Amino acid sequence: MAVRFIHTSDWQIGKVFRFVDSSTMGLLQEARLRAITRLGEHAIEQNVSHILVAGDVYDMEALTPRSLGQPLERMRSFGSVAWHLLPGNHDPHRPNGLWDQLLRRELPPNVRLHLAAEPFVVEGEALALLPAPLHHKRTTQDPTAYMDGVGLPADTIRVGLAHGTVRGFGSEDRDVYNFIQPDRPELAGLDYLALGDWHGKKKINARCWYSGTPEIDAFDVLDGGQALLVEIEGRGAPPKVTPLKVGHYQWLTLHAALSSAEDIDFLEAKLRELGQGLERHLVHLRVKGALSLELRRYFEERIVESVSAALCVLRIDDSGLLPQPTAEDLDQIDRGGFVRAAAEVLSEKAAQGGEEARLAAEALQRLYIEHMKLQAEQR
């Protein structure tokens, strides 16, 4: 008997994004809830009855009742879909913790909490889930080890559900926290092992996959923003795994070398050509090169002020962008007197390197901008 389900993980509801302002953080947090709705829509579109969430449903243990309840209400609205939730390292199952709080409230009838390491046989289907919930943020024991000894009817499709790290994946040392044996499917006779913890989609072997987070949450995540549709024709059959797009926001890291106005114009065009919906893009821009004070002001106007207003987030690393003030730049500040003398001292310090040089460069640029504003007002 064939089974079909959606594998997802690492929702991390309530996640805090400290590098953005409060309004933008609200948008990113709402997107994580919207991902649940999209998962439910996928389940309906694919005629799937089960969604497996492989840990880290919540980002932390201390959340408000509203934050705890919001994902439950999203799941409640898809009553024909059974949602299977597993505690992970961000939200481990501890006495009187968040999972006990959830148990004390009226859970939607289609939401199942898997809080013990014991098989769960799905009624009316030849499917058994073998969950491996975490009870601590860190454990040195493989939470999936118990699966090897579980006895089930011969024709029952076995699906493991776990949250942790496999050997050689993020660490070369087996002595890591929340370690999961990558050949657990073979050892325990699993037809599929649904893993969470890694935020990008990752195939470990034919029967062992990370789904990744359905809504990307960092610039270094590869193949995120997805879930996995898993189809197994029968006990022992190889699983067919199909990625499903879920995420709303795109996170990009871009590099640019700048030394002229043309370089800045090219960068602006490149950013604007990211496609429709620029407001759905978060960009980490790393720039290097050397710019005069005038060109640095042009960079601020065209990139920092203009393009950034079109994007959800523009995060700029300009530590490799060196100041290269010209004589004309300094003349624009002042041709003589103590202001010109101060500008020349700052210019010399900015060329020396180090933290003091960075501060000097910022002060020099600010001095230049303020004098340009003053001149504009006097015209």
Regarding whether 229 and 179 lie in a shared domain, the answer is yes
Regarding whether 127 and 13 lie in a shared domain, the answer is yes
Regarding whether 119 and 45 lie in a shared domain, the answer is yes
Alpha helices in 249-313 (DSSP H): 261-272, 293-299, 308-310
149 contact partners, CB below 8 Å, separation of at least 6: none
Q: Is the dihedral of CA 102, 105, 108, 114 positive or negative?
A: positive
How confident is the model at residue 286, as a pLDDT? Answer: 97
Regarding whether 305 and 337 lie in a shared domain, the answer is no
Regarding whether 125 and 58 lie in a shared domain, the answer is yes
How confident is the model at residue 378, as a pLDDT? Answer: 54
One DSSP character per residue, 98-166 reads: HHHHHHHS---TTEEE--SSS-EEETTTTEEEEEE--SSS--SS-TTGGGGG----TTPEEEEEEESEE
* Domain carrying residue 105: 3-245
- Residue 52 bridge partners (DSSP): 7, 84
220 contact partners, CB below 8 Å, separation of at least 6: 253
Half-sphere exposure of 20 (CA within 13 A, CB side): 21
Regarding whether 212 and 338 lie in a shared domain, the answer is no
Q: Is the dihedral of CA 332, 338, 344, 347 positive or negative?
A: negative
Look at residue 357 and give its three-state secondary structure. Answer: helix
269 contact partners, CB below 8 Å, separation of at least 6: none
Give CA–CA dist 8/222, Å, rounded.
15
Per-residue pLDDT tens over the stretch 210-265: 999 999 999 999 999 999 999 999 999 999 999 999 999 999 999 999 989 999 99
- Residue 6 bridge partners (DSSP): 51, 229
Q: Of 277, 300, 321, which residue is a domain's last?
A: 321
Lowest mean pLDDT among 44-53, 149-158, 160-169, 238-247: 160-169
Structural domain count, the chain: 3
Lowest mean pLDDT among 152-166, 299-313, 356-370: 356-370
Per-residue pLDDT tens over the stretch 64-122: 999 999 999 999 999 999 999 999 999 999 999 999 999 998 899 999 999 999 999 99
Q: Of 277, 299, 321, which residue is a domain's last?
A: 321
How confident is the model at residue 322, as a pLDDT? Answer: 78
Regarding whether 337 and 312 lie in a shared domain, the answer is no
Q: What would the mean pLDDT of 175-200 be, rounded to a whole number?
A: 92
- 174 pLDDT above the threshold of 60: no
Regarding whether 120 and 151 lie in a shared domain, the answer is yes
Regarding whether 229 and 107 lie in a shared domain, the answer is yes
Backbone angles phi, psi at 119, to 5 degrees: -70, 150
Q: What would the mean pLDDT of 178-195 be, rounded to a whole number?
A: 94
How confident is the model at residue 226, as a pLDDT? Answer: 97
88 contact partners, CB below 8 Å, separation of at least 6: 9, 10, 54, 55, 56, 57, 134, 163, 196, 197
Nearest alpha carbon to residue 257 among 322, 307, 311, 330? 322
Regarding whether 121 and 10 lie in a shared domain, the answer is yes
What does the mean pLDDT of the chain come to?
88
Look at residue 198 and give its three-state secondary structure. Answer: coil
Give CA–CA dist 321/289, Å, rounded.
5
Strands 202-205, 208-210: pairing is antiparallel
Per-residue pLDDT tens over the stretch 317-362: 988 887 776 666 556 655 555 555 665 666 666 666 666 666 766 6
Strands 250-258, 157-163: pairing is unpaired
Regarding whether 188 and 336 lie in a shared domain, the answer is no
Regarding whether 330 and 317 lie in a shared domain, the answer is no
How confident is the model at residue 329, as a pLDDT? Answer: 58
**Identity of the amino acid at 270:** K
Q: Of 321, 342, 364, which residue is a domain's last?
A: 321
- 172 pLDDT above the threshold of 60: no
Nearest alpha carbon to residue 56 among 16, 11, 99? 11
Q: Which CATH number characterizes residue 224's domain? A: 3.60.21.10
* Confidence grade of residue 291 (pLDDT, cut at 50, 70, 90): confident
343 membership: H or E segment, kind and range: helix 337-350
Nearest alpha carbon to residue 190 among 148, 240, 143? 148
Strands 120-122, 82-85: pairing is unpaired
Q: What is the pTM of this model?
A: 0.86
- Residue 289 bridge partners (DSSP): 258, 321
Look at residue 212 and give its three-state secondary structure. Answer: coil
Lowest mean pLDDT among 4-8, 22-26, 359-363: 359-363
Proportion of the chain above pLDDT 90, given as a percent: 70
- 171 pLDDT above the threshold of 60: no
**Identity of the amino acid at 361:** A
